[in-house]
Structure formats: structure tokens, C-alpha cells
Structure 1
């Protein structure tokens, strides 16, 4: 079965709500999943969406988490996702982050206590669409070995950058 992006968006939103996400979290997650799928990144698109649903249902993601955003410096935004999705805190901050970068020449978004973000390029790409050069890095479980090593030392999604 083939779905349009609008149909897939509606189904994902309803599935996320059904799995325990609130409306804001469901919309934030769905937007990133559909963007990844539209770019042909199925491993972090619809197939990865099932992982999010299972994590919501199992309580590994708090679907009602209310991220706390602080601003410890004029160009620095810190999000405590409080066990929820990485997407929600970023979505709440992106407009201010862009304004700060345009005002100060740089801005920083840092987040803690979030579930995996999926496609890291989704976040840098959104900043590039706003006219910014962006760089993002994340930590995660070591699942890939480095050159000359057999022991995993890298996460699968360690960094991303984008430009307008």
C-alpha cells in the first residue's frame, strides 16, 4: 500500500497519540518521521517510528513530558526533555535560536534527558532553511567500531551539519 505524505502524517500522529504521546509530542515526532521518509531515509523514517511507538507504550519515552527550556547565556538554550522526545524541546526553541544566531552571530541549543532524536540532519536542515549554517552532535550507545577497532565506540548518528 502506498500512502501520500499527508496520509502518512495523519496515521503517524494518530498512532503516536494512541501510544501515549500528547498532541505536541505527536506532532513533533510525526514531522521528523515524515521528513526522513520523504528524503528516502527509511531507517529513521516510518520503520523507526515503530520503535518510538513501542518506547511510548513501554514508558521509555514520557509522551507527556513538558520540556524545561532555560537560557543560561544570551545565545545559549538548554532543554531538559525530562524523559520525553528530543523533538519537542527543539521545536519550542527553534524560533528563538534562529533570532539569537542572527543577533549574536552564533547560538547554541543543548539538550539532556531526551529519547533518541532519530535523523539528526532533520534539526540542522531546519536551521539551514532559516539561513543558518548549523552543526549538531549527539551522544548515544556505542554500536559502531572505529578504524582499527573491533569494539564499538561510536553511535550511529554522532553529527550532522547543514548550510543554506
Structure 2
């Protein structure tokens, strides 16, 4: 098992680039690890994080839109050092999919309304895609009404 560390490296051109490091957790006595010259720290650029996330999510059954929405959130949280939603969240997403608790191809439905409330039905899919579908409507309603609220139906 690995835990994640967020770091920033300085490129030769002076730009600071965030990346993730996966650091091994202490092993249980029954576990064995052979390193054979392999580094125990894996460092990933944000592009590598995005590619890894997309490939893991699509391989576990998420459709392209859901995988992209989750990947965008994970990459943003990685940059912001939001430790509750960084790269390790992939495990939760794949476990949820394997358990059959969500539909990785569900198309969220934004309910029409004339007021400042934006309601979205996730249709059994992940809430992240539902929010991304609602965001343009939420922005429009904020411009129209001066404020707006988002609510996701529990489906």
C-alpha cells in the first residue's frame, strides 16, 4: 500500500510544477517487498496523473464523460493539495463501480426551472458529472437572479 504526498518540483526553466509522490506505507509482517533497485517512491506529473486516472476509471467501467469529470476533479485537488480528494480517491471510485453501486454511463438530467434553483438528477451515476452538467445553468441563473443554488436528486 502507498500513501500520497503532494510536492512541487522546479523545472530547468524555473517553473514550479506540482506532482504526486506515492510513498510506501509500513508493511504488515506477512507482506514482502523486493525492490531490486526499483525506487520505492513514484513521482507523477499532472499529465501522468490525468492519463493514469482516465485509464483506471475507463478500465473499471466508467464511461468517457464520467472518467473525464472525475479525472478533472482529482487533478484540481492534487494541485490544491486537497488531501481528501487527491489521487488515492481512484481506489474509492473503482471500488464503488465494482460493487455495482453506480452507473458509470448514466447521463445526468438538469431539470428546467424559472427560479434560481438548479436541480440535477444523477440517474444513478457519480455526482461529479451531474455537477459539471449543472454548472453552466448555475452560472446563467446566478447572472439572471443575482444568486443560485444547486441541488442533486438522490438518484
Please confirm whether the aligned pair reaches a TM-score higher than 0.5, indicating the same fold. Answer: yes
How far did residue 81 of structure 1 move? 0.6
Gaps of 5+ in 1: 115-164
1:60-101 deviation digits (Å, cap 9, x = unpaired): 121011111102333221111122111111111211211210
Gaps of 5+ in 2: 1-41
Runs of 4+ in 1 over 6 A off after TM superposition: none
Of 113, 117, 135 in structure 1, the residue corresponding to residue 154 of structure 2 is 113
1:29-63 deviation digits (Å, cap 9, x = unpaired): 11111111221123321112211111112211210
Please identify the structure whose Cα radius of gyration is greater. Answer: 2
Q: Is the counterpart of residue 84 in structure 1 residue 134 in structure 2?
A: no
More strand by share: 2
CA distance in 2 between counterparts of 1:113 and 1:96 reads 19
Of 48, 55, 62 in structure 2, the residue corresponding to residue 14 of structure 1 is 55
Considering only aligned residues, what root-mean-square deviation do their CA atoms show, in Å? 1.4
Superposed, which structure 2 residues align to 1:64-79 within 5 Å? 64-79=105-120
- 2:36 corresponds in structure 1 to none
The 3-state SS of whatever aligns with 2:123 is: coil
CA distance in 1 between counterparts of 2:154 and 2:93 reads 16
- Confirm or deny: 8 A CA contact 1:84 1:113 kept in the other structure: no
CA distance in 2 between counterparts of 1:73 and 1:50 reads 39
TM norm structure 2: 0.68
TM norm structure 1: 0.65
CA distance in 2 between counterparts of 1:43 and 1:91 reads 20
Superposed, which structure 2 residues align to 1:15-164 within 5 Å? 15-113=56-154
